[in-house]
Amino acid sequence: MAKKRKLRTQTTTNRWKNLFTYIYLIILSVIIIYPILITVTSAFRTGNIMAFDLNLSGPWSLNNFRRLFQDTLYGTWYLNTLYVAGTTMFAQVAAITLSGYAYSRYRFVGRNQSIKFFLIVQMIPTTAALTAFFVMALLAGGLNSHWFLILIYIGGGIPMNTWLMKGYFDTIPIELDESAKLDGAGHLRIFWQIVLPLVKPMIAVQALWAFMGPFGEYMLARFLLRRPDLYTVAIGLQTFINNPQDQRVTLFAAGAILIAVPICLLFFYLQRHFISGLTAGGTKG
């Protein structure tokens, strides 16, 4: 008798729990989807609207996308961003793969000090050194130049990402290297042919992060690039929306979609590697 009653109360609590679970998830999903849906639909709306709202009545057209490339510098901004992000990605991934490998695989004089150095430097918020970058750019001709920005982006991410990369290299058993060494493989061969193929997932994740960074970075880019034809998309798109008298929200929405869609696709494609990369690097878990 008593057992039966206990079972029944358990199923009722379960039912309540389920109900609550789905209500929670649905509300959260609505909150997430609502602004995204607004942006997506606005991109296809015709006419000029002052502000975003959810309006599914149409009419729809691709007009905004055409105007984006005909009437604004959006195409140039996009290419600029691809150039900055691409270069940053290649250089940064190369540098952190090499240094992460060195810290994971070799025991050398100064190793522990330099790992601690990375850990501390990693905490310094580089972008905050705005004044220093300003002075350096002023003297080295770095204002209005992409390379200066690229160098800052590359270097700024190195300590943290070397750290994550080292953590991931640590998860690859060292016995592999040792047996290859016994077979007569040299340093480069062990690195290139034995270990590197095994860390591809982490390299992919790091590449994505390094690539996404310049797309979203606003502060330094806004500060260093002062000519509209040099803007990256983040600064360019902001000009559509930051002037209260001239709100081009539909253009903003169209531009935003052309950035967000490819990045989202890359993101979901590489998503399953994120967790292993994060926990392996951050906590050695």
Partner 1 sequence: MKSNSNKNSIFSEGDKKYIKKSTFLSIIPGLGQLNNKQFFKGVLFLSIFALFVAEMLLFGIPALEGLITLGTDPATDHSLFLLIEGALQIIITIIFLIFLFANIVDARKVAKMRCINPENVNYSVKDILNHTLDNGFPYLLTIPAYLLMAFSIIFPVLVTIFIAFTNYNFRNVPPTNLIEWVGLDTFRNLFVFSAYRDTFLAVFSWTLIWTFAATTLQLIIGVFTAIVINQKGLKFKKIFGVIMLLPWAIPAFITVLTFSNMFNPSVGAINTQVIPFLDSILPFVELTSVPWKITTFWTRIAIIMIQGWVGFPFIYVLTSGVIQSIPDDWYEASVMDGASAIQKFRFITLPHIFTVAAPIFVTQYTGNFNNFNTIYLFNEGGPGSIGSGAGSTDILISWIYKLTTGTSPQYNVSAAVTLIISMVVIALSMFIFSKTKAFEMGD
Instruction: Pick out residues in 35-74 that bind partner 1 (CB under 8 A).
Output: 35-36, 38-39, 50-54
Residue among 79, 85, 33, 70 at smallest CA distance from 251: 70
Question: Helix, strand, or coil here: 142?
Answer: coil
Contact code string over 144-183 relative to partner 1, x by CB under 8 A: -------xxxxxx-xx--x----x----------------
Look at the block and give the residue holding tokens 């330094």.
Answer: 220
Question: Which of 241, 254, 275, 188 is CA-nearest to residue 46?
Answer: 254
Residues 6+ apart with CB under 8 A from 169: 100, 101, 103, 104, 105, 195, 199
Interface pattern 225-264 for partner 1 (x via CB under 8 A): ---------x--xx--xx----x-x--xx--x--xx--xx
Binding partner 1 (rule: CB under 8 A), the pick from 7, 119, 174, 176 is 119
Residue 124, CA distances (Å) to 72, 120, 160, 279 in order? 37, 7, 10, 22
Give least dist CB 200 to partner 1, A: 18
* Of the candidate residues 32, 62, 174, 176, the single one contacting partner 1 (CB under 8 A): 32
**Residue closer to partner 1, measured from CB, 67 or 105:** 105
Query: Smaller CB distance to partner 1: residue 83 or 134?
Result: 134
- Nearest to partner 1 of 52, 78 (CB atom): 52
Q: Which one of the spans 18-26, 57-65, 172-180, 195-203 is the region binding partner 1 (CB under 8 A)?
A: 18-26
Site membership for partner 1, residue 275 (CB under 8 A): yes
Q: Does 185 bind partner 1 (CB under 8 A)?
A: no
Closest C-alpha among 270, 282, 235, 272 to residue 255? 235
Kind and range of the H or E element at 251?
Answer: helix 249-283
224: nearest Cα among 127, 86, 79, 157 = 127
Q: How many residues bind partner 1 (CB under 8 A)?
A: 98
Decide whether 13 or 61 has the Cβ nearer to partner 1.
13
Question: Which tokens in the block code for residue 105?
Answer: 């695989």
Residue 62 DSSP one-character state: S
| Interaction between residue 95 and partner 1 (CB under 8 A) | yes
